[in-house]
Amino acid sequence: MSDTTTRNIQVRVAPSYVPEQSEPEEDRYLFAYHVRIENQSDQAVRLISRHWIITDGDGDVSEVRGQGVVGEQPHLQPGEAFEYTSACPLPTPVGTMQGSFQMITDEGESFDAEIAPFTLALPGALN
């Protein structure tokens, strides 16, 4: 679980393993992650783009950048939230993700809403 607030934009992420879409014998592990972005500020903001840093269990790092999230650039009024679920394949049973969402206020001010690191792990892999 990850929970970070930057400039009153709260980002929570809850990861989970997806066994039915994973093939451990072929080093393919699929992890879903549910994201909730809540605007706790007093001004409207739009999520413009995303930046993820993904590290697998071998220490190999990949970065993903793109416009919006799940094909959208949500516009959040004060008090509103946006939720979505996406997925990340890994070649190892354990890894981490972290990153940021690039936000812009209606007044044109840009900033990054941080996404704190969270662990992707096969159930029981870290015990």
> Domains in the chain, please, with CATH?
2-119 (2.60.40.1470)
Of the pLDDT bands very low, low, confident and very high (cuts 50, 70, 90), residue 127 is: low
Q: Which two tokens stand for residue 71?
A: 């094909």
Which is it for strands 29-39 and 81-90: parallel, antiparallel or unpaired?
antiparallel
* pTM assigned to the model: 0.94
Helix, strand, coil content of the chain in percent (nearest 5): 5, 65, 30
pLDDT tens-digit readout, 69-99: 999 999 999 999 999 999 999 999 999 999 9
Neighbouring CB atoms inside 10 A of 31's CB total: 25
Mean pLDDT of 37-49: 98
DSSP 53-96: EEEETT--EEEEEEESBTTB--EE-TT-EEEEEEEEEESSSEEE
pLDDT > 90 in the chain, percent: 96
Q: What is the pLDDT of residue 123?
A: 87
